[in-house]
Amino acid sequence: MNRTIAKNRVKKIEEIFNQATDCKVYTLDNCFNGKECSTEAAKKELFQFSFSRLTFDVESGIYQVHVHSNCWYEFRLGNSCGHLVIDKQGRCENCFAFIGGAK
């Protein structure tokens, strides 16, 4: 199940991109094989085009910046489950799982 994150949630998007790792771009130019890139490139594309969107796949923990059908970025967050940490105990925003063995 994909969740779309609204572009006007600037604070949340900043938090997401600050924790993002393993960013890959998929385009027609690289035959849709993931090519490593910076998260800054994905962030720039997200805000550059009005039709781009940021989504989160709950099952896989992968964030995607969809620019158009021939260009998208995929990345994970730096923690083990891929979700955004929201509290001091290290619980995730979507699954409320504990990270780092704390329970």
Q: Please report, as a single letter, which amino acid is at residue 30.
A: N
36-62 confidence digits (pLDDT tens)? 999 999 999 999 999 999 999 888 889
Rounded CA-CA distance 49/99 in Å is 34
Question: Quick one: average pLDDT of 56-79?
Answer: 89
Q: Domain segments of the chain: what residues?
A: 2-77
For residue 21, the Cα-to-chain-centroid distance in whole angstroms is: 9
The DSSP annotation for 10-42 comes to HHHHHHHHHHEEEEEEEEGGGTT--EE--HHHH
Question: Quick one: average pLDDT of 65-73?
Answer: 95
Which of residues 28 and 99 earns the better pLDDT score? 28
Tokens 């949630």 sit at which residue? Answer: 9
